[in-house]
Structures are given as structure tokens and as C-alpha cells.
């Protein structure tokens, strides 16, 4: 007779966590008993370790759920907290503890020192087989994608083929039932995403690019020979999931698509636009790579509801972009987009990476000159470079002695306090000067002639503090305007304020 297995999925510092929501949906589709626990939420540049009250609330909840399996999905910044959670769970109960997510995938070996099993890669099929095997009493040690500790040692199973038809997956789980949110020492029952005014989703998995700082440079190698790495859902599946989610998340006012390659297929885009404007009809944002910018497609997407595009520049220095980040410069495309956007009128954000130890004065000068040439208005999302384990960039910097293992995220926790660049974080004078100039560069009330004078000032390069103060005041003015606009659109929720509302660690735009 089949045994009933209870599973608790724990999401670390993220109430959106698409991976955990997908796993919950897969188990529910199989008729399994599953609960999802969201343990604390992410706060930009202000991530904090759990308090004793947080630990007490979480462990009391898990004790009441009495899971046979605890699956913990997490990113690299939280590995030490997950280690502590694993130890605390074992002190109270003896479920099978499975670690999964991007960190467990890229560095599974040290994870096995603490977890009973580690999922390497996409987890829907291995988790489904794991729970089914436990229910029927079968051996689980040979499941593809799982590294499992056994009495005879560790079984390191190779990844199985990638799921090519993503439409076979159920919609992510947005039901209130079986959801719990633990924060501030309290347990709240129900889906915490119901308090959000935005819904994030992806129409695809994988990426056709291999930027050196990104985990895709690792994942592509893990799945080599296991099918197409980049896969896209059908329009019907994407729209159907949005309709399902929006029925359960009534506060949502905007949809954000996290695919860099959203607009790469013209026929798919046309079908999407036709269905989205008829069945969803909410404003939406896109992330795009410069190579996929196309005026006709963007105009069609705008008619369907597109209001903002986020485009990765990363470095406007051709040398730094290719030499360090393994990206193809696409400056002509970005300049052309700027001209198109005079007609389109889309809100535009460009991503730029700061704090690269290899960045030279010539690189920064090239970035300044290029951004001065880009037609406005636009904003900049400024990110501080973080070294994630096993990426091509991190491995290269380690080999060359430019960083130590102590600076790799997981050992370090830089992203806890410096993900999006802010002025509170200590940085060399050259980087502080550059950050201050870029913040001013996006402000329409700062004359271009003044920016050039500031850029040429030898005094401010040696003494950037006054410039940084002026930039912070201008940034505060801009962020206040953004907050008021969000409030008017019904998008400024308490959750959003907690994520981004720290004045001392205020993000720059």
C-alpha cells in the first residue's frame, strides 16, 4: 500500500520564487500533500540574517506541518542561512532534506556535506520521482539530477534530458491554501504575493547568450547534450497562466517579463500581442538585449500594453564589454533605439555594471561619452559587480589572482548590502566619482554642459564627496517622483516600500 508523503517547500528570501511555485504545482498535480513556506523577503541592499524570533516561528510551523521531505530552494547569497536552517531542523525532526536552486546546481559537492540530497538542475522531474519513490518504498538513489547520500556513499547522478515542451508543466502555484509567510517573528497564512501590485513571469527558460558574469555560462555546460538549452512556452500557456494568477492576485497592476530574449521571435510576439491585449490588458515591462531591438515589434508591443523596456548595456566601453563581460557591443542598436523611442515614447532603463576592478579610466571615459550620446530621456539601473561561484568571470578572476575565494558570493555576502548601487557602500574615489556622474547624467534638469565640466574636473576626481552629496540629493528628488507616480497608479504597496524604501541605502537611478 502506498505511503502518504508530506512535503514542505521552503523559499529563502523571495516571495516570488518561480522555481518553488513550479515545484509545488507539479506535486499538487500528482495529488501530493505539499506546503510552501516563504521564509523572509528580500530587501534591496538591506538583507538581514534571521532573528531568533524568525527561527522560532519557522521551526514551530515546520513542526506542525510534520513534513517527510523538506525541499529548500535558494540562491547563493543565502547558503550560510540554509546551512543553519538545516542544522536547526535536524535538531527537532528527521525529514529528508533536499537542497535545490542555482547554488546547489553549480556547487553541489559542498552542499552534500549538509543536505541528504541535492538537486542539480531543473527540479520538476526529479522531485516528482523522489516523492513517488518514497510513497511506493522504492530506492531513490538513482534518480537523474539528484546527488544522494546513502549508506554506501554518495550517488552522483547525471542530469537527465531537459524538458523541451514547457507547456507540459502546470501553471505555477498561486493558491492561498498551503502557503505560509514567515517574517518579523510571525507566521502569516496565505500567499504573500497577494499583497503585491506586480507579477513577474518568464515566457522561456535558458538563454542563447553566455555573458561571463551570469550563471548561464555555467548551466549551459551542465546540460550540454541534453537537448536545447533555450526553450519557450507557447503564447497560450503564458497567457493562460497570467489569467489564472490574476484571478488569485487581485492587487496586481503591472506584469513584468524577466526574459532577455522576449522579442526574438516576430511571429511569437505578434501572437502574444493579440492575445495579451484581449485577455490580460495590464501595463507590462520587458527586459531586452540590444540585438533584439526592432522598432516595428516594439510599436506592436506598445499597442498591446508595453510601457517600459529594460536594456542591458552593462558597460558602454567596447573593450570592457567584450574583454571582461563576454558580450558583443551593440552601441549602434542602442543609439538607433533611442531615436525610435522619440516616436514610441516608452519608459527606458539601461543596465550598467559598476565596481569592476579591471575597469580603467579609459573604460569609464568611453562609457560616459557613449551615454552622453544616447538620446533621452532614460534611467540607469546601476549594479555593483558581484562574483558568483563558478561563473566564467569569477573563475577567470580567481585564476588571475584578482580576487580570492573569500570574495566569492556564498563565502562573502556583498549582495546583502550592495546589489543595486547606492552611496552608502564604500568604494574607491574613482568609482564614487563615476557613480555620482552617472546619477546626474540621467537627470533632465542637469545641463549637459555642466556635466562635461564636472567630468573634466580634476578637483572632483580627487575629492568626489561634494559631487556625491549633490548626486544623492538629485537622486532623492527623482526617487520621490517615482514613488509618487507609483502611488498614483496603485503600485506602491507596503511590500514594495519594505523592499526598496531604505533612505540610507536608497538605490540610484
Neighbours of 81 (CB within 10 A): 20
Same domain, 136 and 210: no
Same domain? For 258 and 348 the reply is yes
For residue 501, being part of any structural domain is answered with no
* 27 plus 149 within the same structural domain: yes
pLDDT of residue 316 exceeding 80, the answer is no
Cell numbers standing for residue 311? 536594456
Q: What is the mean pLDDT of residues 308-326?
A: 78
User: What does the pLDDT read at residue 89?
Assistant: 98
Q: Which of 24-28, 317-321, 476-480 has the lowest mean pLDDT?
A: 317-321
- 157-to-72, 134, 142, 146, 154 alpha-carbon distances in Å: 19, 18, 6, 6, 9
What residues make up the domain containing 285? 196-421
- Cα 127 to Cα 405: distance, rounded to the nearest angstrom: 32
Instruction: Report yes or no: 408 and 387 within 8 Å, Cβ to Cβ.
Output: yes
Q: Which of 369, 315, 375 is nearest to 348 (CA)?
A: 375
Q: Mark which of 378, 405, 421 sits at the end of a domain.
A: 421
Is the domain of 170 the same as that of 227? no
Digit-coded pLDDT (tens) for 444-470: 999 999 999 999 999 999 999 999 999
The pLDDT score that the predictor gives to residue 466 is 97
| Average pLDDT over all residues of the chain | 94
Residue 13, phi-psi category: left (phi > 0), alpha (psi -120 to 50), beta (remainder): left
What are the residues whose beta carbons fall under 8 Å from the beta carbon of 473, sequence distance 6 or more? none
* Phi, psi (rounded to 5 degrees) for 136: -95, -5
pLDDT at residue 489, rounded to an integer: 94
- Other CB atoms within a 10 A radius of the CB of residue 213 amount to 22
Q: Is 308 among the domain residues? A: yes
C-alpha cell at 10: 521552503
Nearest of 208, 121, 212, 213 to residue 163 by alpha carbon: 121
- Shared domain check, 157 and 91: yes
Pair 166, 206 in one domain: no
Burial label, 382 (beta-carbon count in 10 A; 0-12, 13-18, 19+): buried
Q: Which pLDDT score is estimated for 315? A: 78
Return the H-helix or E-strand segment holding 237. helix 235-248
What is the band of 1 on the pLDDT scale with cuts at 50, 70, 90?
low
pLDDT at res. 329:
67
C-alpha to C-alpha distances, 65 to 22, 25, 34, 183, 492, nearest whole angstrom? 20, 18, 10, 18, 34
Same-domain check for residues 291 and 323 = yes
- Domain membership of residue 338 (yes or no) is yes
* pLDDT band for position 95 (cuts 50, 70, 90): very high
- Classify residue 191: in a domain, yes or no: no
What does the pLDDT read at residue 504? 81
Kindly give the residue spans of alpha helices, DSSP state H, lying in 34-116: 52-65, 79-92, 102-106, 108-111
The pLDDT value given to residue 441:
96
**175 and 276, same domain (yes or no):** no
pLDDT-derived band at 278 (thresholds 50, 70, 90) equals very high
Q: Please give the grid coordinates belonging to residue 200.
A: 513577474
Q: 102 has which bridge partners?
A: none
Is residue 495 assigned to a domain?
Answer: no
The reply to whether 78 and 173 lie within a common domain is yes
Q: Taking the CB of residue 287, how many other CB atoms lie within 10 A of it?
A: 20
Which of helix, strand or coil describes residue 154?
A: strand
Could you tell me if 291 and 330 are in contact, meaning their C-beta atoms sit under 8 angstroms apart?
yes
**Residue partners of 483: CB distance under 8 A and separation at least 6:** 492
CA geometry: angle 197, 202, 206, nearest 5 deg: 150
Residues 225 and 97 in one domain: no
Contact at 8 Å (CB) between 417 and 45?
yes
* pLDDT score of 435 more than 80: yes
Q: Write out the E strands in 75-219.
A: 96-100, 117-119, 146-150, 153-156, 179-183, 186-189, 198-201, 204-205
The CATH number for 118's domain is 3.40.50.280
Query: Residue 296 has what pLDDT?
Result: 94
Whether the per-residue pLDDT at 35 is higher than 90: the answer is yes
The secondary structure of residue 64, as a DSSP letter, is H
Q: Assess if residue 406 is contained within a domain.
A: yes
Instruction: Return the pLDDT at 11.
Output: 98
State how far the Cα of 195 lies from the Cα of 252, in Å rounded to an integer.
8
Say how many domains are in the chain: 2
Q: What percent of the chain has pLDDT over 90?
A: 85
Residue 443 lies in a domain: no
Give per-residue burial for 41-62: e unless 16+ CB within 10 Å, then b.
bbbbbbbeebeeebbebbbebb
Reported confidence tier of residue 314, pLDDT bands at 50, 70, 90: confident
Distance CA 299, CA 9 (A): 41
State yes or no: pLDDT of 164 exceeds 90. yes
> What pLDDT score does 506 carry?
87
Q: Is the same domain home to 268 and 174?
A: no
Q: What CA–CA distances, in Å, run from 42 to 17, 76, 496?
A: 11, 13, 10
Percent of the chain residues topping a pLDDT of 70:
98
| Residue after which a domain boundary falls, among 381, 403, 421 | 421
- Model confidence pLDDT, tens digit, residues 186-226: 999 999 999 999 999 999 999 888 788 888 888 888 898 99
Instruction: Return the pLDDT at 326.
Output: 67
- Indicate if 210 and 68 belong to the same structural domain: no
| Residue 290 binned pLDDT confidence (cut-offs 50, 70, 90) | confident
For residue 375 the three cell numbers come to 538620446
Last residue of a domain, one of 180, 209, 234: 180
327: pLDDT strictly greater than 80: no
- The residues with which 12 forms a beta bridge, in sequence order, are 39
What are residue 287's DSSP bridge partners? 310
pLDDT mean over 294-300: 94
Q: Do the Cβ atoms of 26 and 20 come closer than 8 Å? A: no
CB 192 within 8 A of CB 38: yes
In a domain, 459, yes or no: no
Amino acid at each position: 500500500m502506498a505511503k502518504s508523503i508530506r512535503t514542505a517547500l521552503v523559499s529563502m528570501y523571495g516571495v516570488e520564487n518561480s522555481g518553488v511555485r513550479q515545484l509545488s504545482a507539479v506535486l499538487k498535480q500528482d495529488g501530493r500533500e505539499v506546503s510552501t513556506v516563504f521564509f523572509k523577503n528580500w530587501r534591496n541592499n538591506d538583507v538581514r540574517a534571521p532573528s531568533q524570533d524568525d527561527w522560532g516561528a519557522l521551526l514551530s510551523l515546520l513542526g506542525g506541518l510534520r513534513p517527510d521531505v523538506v525541499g529548500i530552494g535558494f540562491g547563493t547569497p543565502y547558503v550560510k542561512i540554509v546551512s543553519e536552517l538545516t542544522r536547526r531542523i535536524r535538531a527537532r525532526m528527521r525529514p529528508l532534506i533536499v537542497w535545490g536552486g542555482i547554488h546547489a546546481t553549480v556547487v553541489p559537492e559542498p552542499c552534500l556535506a549538509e543536505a541528504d540530497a541535492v538537486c542539480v538542475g531543473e527540479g520538476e522531474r526529479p522531485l516528482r520521482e523522489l516523492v513517488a519513490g518514497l510513497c511506493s518504498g522504492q530506492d531513490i538513489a538513482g534518480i537523474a539530477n539528484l546527488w544522494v547520500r546513502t549508506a554506501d556513499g554518495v550517488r552522483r547522478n547525471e542530469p537527465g534530458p531537459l524538458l523541451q515542451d514547457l507547456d507540459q508543466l502546470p501553471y505555477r502555484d498561486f493558491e492561498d491554501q498551503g502557503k505560509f509567510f514567515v517574517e518579523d517573528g510571525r507566521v502569516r497564512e496565505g500567499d504573500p504575493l497577494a499583497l503585491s501590485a506586480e507579477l513577474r513571469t518568464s515566457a522561456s527558460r535558458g538563454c542563447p547568450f553566455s555573458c561571463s558574469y551570469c550563471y548561464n555560462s555555467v548551466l549551459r555546460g551542465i546540460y550540454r547534450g541534453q537537448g536545447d538549452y533555450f526553450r519557450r512556452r507557447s503564447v497560450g500557456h503564458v497567457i493562460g497562466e497570467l489569467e489564472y494568477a490574476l484571478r488569485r492576485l487581485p492587487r496586481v497592476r503591472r506584469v513584468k517579463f524577466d526574459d532577455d530574449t522576449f522579442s526574438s521571435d516576430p511571429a511569437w510576439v505578434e501572437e502574444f500581442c493579440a492575445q495579451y491585449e484581449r485577455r490580460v490588458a495590464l501595463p507590462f515591462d520587458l527586459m531586452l538585449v540590444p540585438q533584439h531591438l526592432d522598432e516595428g515589434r516594439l510599436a506592436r508591443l506598445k499597442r498591446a500594453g508595453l510601457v517600459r523596456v529594460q536594456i542591458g548595456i552593462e558597460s558602454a566601453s567596447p573593450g570592457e564589454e567584450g574583454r571582461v563581460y563576454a558580450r558583443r557591443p551593440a552601441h549602434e542598436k542602442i543609439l538607433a533605439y533611442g531615436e525610435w523611442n522619440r516616436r514610441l515614447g516608452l519608459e527606458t532603463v539601461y543596465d550598467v555594471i559598476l565596481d569592476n576592478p579591471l575597469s580603467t579610466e579609459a573604460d569609464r571615459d568611453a562609457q560616459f561619452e557613449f551615454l552622453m550620446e544616447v538620446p533621452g530621456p532614460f534611467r540607469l539601473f546601476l549594479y555593483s559587480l558581484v562574483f558568483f561561484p563558478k561563473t566564467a568571470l569569477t573563475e577567470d578572476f580567481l585564476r588571475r589572482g584578482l580576487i580570492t575565494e573569500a570574495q566569492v558570493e556564498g563565502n562573502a555576502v556583498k549582495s546583502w548590502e550592495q546589489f543595486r548601487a547606492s552611496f552608502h557602500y564604500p568604494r574607491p574615489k574613482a568609482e564614487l566619482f563615476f557613480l555620482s556622474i552617472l546619477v546626474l547624467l540621467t537627470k533632465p534638469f542637469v545641463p549637459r554642459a555642466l556635466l562635461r565640466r564636472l567630468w573634466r574636473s580634476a578637483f572632483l576626481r580627487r575629492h568626489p564627496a561634494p559631487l556625491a552629496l549633490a548626486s544623492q540629493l538629485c537622486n532623492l528628488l527623482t526617487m520621490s517622483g517615482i514613488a509618487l507616480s507609483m502611488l498614483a497608479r496603485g503600485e506602491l504597496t507596503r511590500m514594495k516600500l519594505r523592499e526598496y524604501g531604505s533612505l540610507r541605502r536608497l538605490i540610484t537611478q
